[in-house]
Chains A and B, each alone.
Chain A
Amino acid sequence: MNTQVITVDVMILLAMALAALWTVMTRSLLRSAIGLALVSALLTVLMFRLNSPLAAVFELSVCSGLISVVFIATISLTQPMTQEKVLQHMKDRLERFWYLPILLVLVGIALSFVNFKFDLTLPVAEAEKDARVVLWNQRPLDILGQIIMLLTGAFGIVILFREAKKK
């Protein structure tokens, strides 16, 4: 039973790595954005399986949804290339990216022989089980940081598009 659980997790990880490879190797940017959403969706499944449902919901809604929309909007707002340019681009890309699968296989083989030993126990008396309690009571500065980052992002985008409008 336990081996089955591990096997499912490893299968999800393998699917994630393949999706990531497809994301990087595919010619079309739109397909890359869809591949990235697939990686996020698979990561969400893994998060659910690793007892992190709250973070998984965030990952699914924000990374798989919102970020994909941002990417697709950006791709559609930029001009497509001509057929000639596309062919040349495809040739260049293949020259640059064909090393990646070989590199991955070599690193995978090398890492499968390595056996590191780390002590993973943390010096904390008792771990809090509720993510909401950790976020609101133990790490309130993180919330402040998030608010500042969101405001920074909002102002940044407003300034960027205001400049473009003026021009």
Chain B
Amino acid sequence: MNPLSLSLFWPACLFIVILFIIGFYCLLVTFNLIRALIGLELLIKAVTLLLILVGYVTGHEALAQSLVITLIVMEVVIIAVAAGIILGLHRHNKGLDVRHLRSLKG
């Protein structure tokens, strides 16, 4: 672990927290399904950056890269299936506003 990588660690952590807040805020306040998915993507980006950063600081870059590759594969599948579900909901409800989704209301 070199001092150079450690000096980058805290500023990067600050930006990871900022990315996380942006993604989480987007998920909380938006009513549009596509924008909610974009918020989820931003959260995943923050996690990806955290994994790469910790791998770099601890000197385990290979392990971090293998984890990030797995994460990217999961991300693609989640986004593809979610996009399919959004299209289906749009066909059914003629809109993407979550306030108008009443089909599953108990």
Contact = CB atoms under 8 A, between A and B. Distances in A.
Note whether A and B form a binding pair: yes
A54 interface: yes
A164 B64 contact: no
Interface string A36-77: 100110010011001110110011001100110011011101
Interface string B28-63: 011010110111011001001100111111111111
A62 B21 contact: no
A46 B53 CA distance: 9
Interface residues of B, number: 71
Given A74-B87, A128-B63, A129-B62, A43 B73 contact: no
Interface of A: 2, 5-6, 9-10, 13-14, 16-17, 20-21, 23-24, 29, 32-33, 36, 39-40, 43, 46-47, 50-52, 54-55, 58-59, 62-63, 66-67, 70-71, 73-75, 77-79, 96-97, 99-100, 103-104, 107-108, 111-112, 116, 120-122, 124, 127-131, 133-135, 138-139, 142, 145-146, 149-150, 152-153, 156-157, 160-161, 163-164, 167
